[in-house]
Chains A and B, each alone.
Chain A
Amino acid sequence: MNLASLDQLWVYLSGNPLLSLLVTLIAFILATRINRLLGGSPFAHPVLVAIALLIGFLLITGIDYGTYFQGAQFIHFLLGPATVALAIPLFDHRERVRRMLLPILVACVTGIGVAVASTLGIGLLMGAQRETLLSLAPRSVTSPIAMGIAEQIGGIPSLAAGLVLLTGSIGCALGPLIFRMLNVKDPSVQGFTMGLAAHGFGTAQSFASLGAMAGAFAGLAMGLTGMLTAFLLPLITALFGL
């Protein structure tokens, strides 16, 4: 094999969707291993590690994001049906939801209001640009929904997705501390709060560390928050004059 043909081979492979698809899966496997080695720390969440690995890989090989996304879009596409599938855990817990409907709805609307208002308020005080603000606004909602919302209100979907992921890990790190400080012990309350403030990350952590009951409430909060935020956010951003 001579150098010229190796070169041509690389040009062919780097533009091929197969490479980005394969690299994404391998990065995710590696990231899961790395996270386990680090004792499951929320700051080394598999998603964050996988993203860091992939950005490093793309920068080193000089493949641009557009080319990478041509392959990775096959994974990205599944976010749509996955969002639809959130209806299944919601349906599974319909009895408990019906029983706690009023407290849950009030807490959910309050939580969303506080999340969006504090994000926009602090962001405005610190002088963030309009596009950044609008991408920050849906940050406590699970990514597929947040990206849709950001697009609707004039933010940047991929920036919104990244901020959602950061919010998730920050929430996982802060949650247990805050519950201890506020003396909140009920696992269903803890789970619901984690799902509302830290979406899928919070839900995964609730399942793992607080049990199935907390996990179910977290999943419920994640779905409900996503749905309600989609309806409420355009109204709240209008209130802030954005």
Chain B
Amino acid sequence: MPLIIGMSVLLGCQFLGELLSKGFAVPVPGPVLGMVILLVGLLVNGHVPDALRKSGEGLLRYLTLLFVPAGVGLMVHFELIRTDFWTLIITLVLSTAITLSVTAKVLDWLARRYTRGKQQ
């Protein structure tokens, strides 16, 4: 039964998120709004119910498997990928390197300043 209750909570939040997203034409995917709704619910509730934790962490443990069906969809785009192949590879590698460097540097600097400021 816990698995069913947990799944109902997750699907319920997603459903509310989809309603908000479509109903008010919010430019954010329904599941993301569902995540916000669940987070607010958890903050109000004060703890994660066991049933929810069981099904939620079960899903997150196998998160990588859930990407597979969509990834296989790459085969439909072989043409698009072939025309833009080098563009895609170079863009992905360069911008990932830039993102990693800038984020690491900015957070490292901020975290050090911030914690030092707090100690004074």
Interface residues of A (CB under 8 A from B): 24-25, 27-28, 45-48, 50-51, 54-55, 58-59, 65, 68-69, 72-73, 75-76, 78-92, 94, 100, 102-104, 106-107, 110-111, 114-115, 118-119, 122-123, 126-129, 131-132, 136, 139-140, 143-145, 147-149, 151-152, 156-159, 161-167, 170-171, 174-175, 178-179, 182, 184, 186, 188-190, 192-194, 196-198, 200-201, 204, 223, 226-227, 230-231, 234
Contacts and interface: CB of A to CB of B under 8 A. Distances in A.
Contacts of A175: 100
Contacts, number: 299
Contacts of A200: 63-64, 67
A103 to B, nearest CB: 4
Contacts of B55: 85
B107 A68 contact: no
B19 to A, nearest CB: 13
Given A111-B103, A223-B35, A198 B96 contact: yes
A82 B63 contact: yes
B5 interface: no
A9 to B, nearest CB: 24
Nearest to A165: B71
A193 B103 contact: yes
A160 to B, nearest CB: 9
Contacts of B92: 136, 139, 163, 166-167, 170
A83 B68 contact: no
B99 A80 contact: no
In order of increasing CB-CB distance, the 3 nearest A-B pairs are A148-B29, A158-B73, A72-B69
Contacts of B105: 182, 184
Interface in B1-53: 7, 10-11, 13-14, 17, 27-32, 34-36, 38-39, 42-43, 48, 52-53
Nearest to A111: B103
Given A72-B69, A84-B35, 12 more contacts: A51-B71, A76-B69, A84-B14, A88-B56, A119-B91, A143-B66, A143-B70, A147-B70, A158-B74, A165-B67, A174-B100, A200-B64
Interface string B88-112: 1011111111111111111110110
A59 B90 CA distance: 27
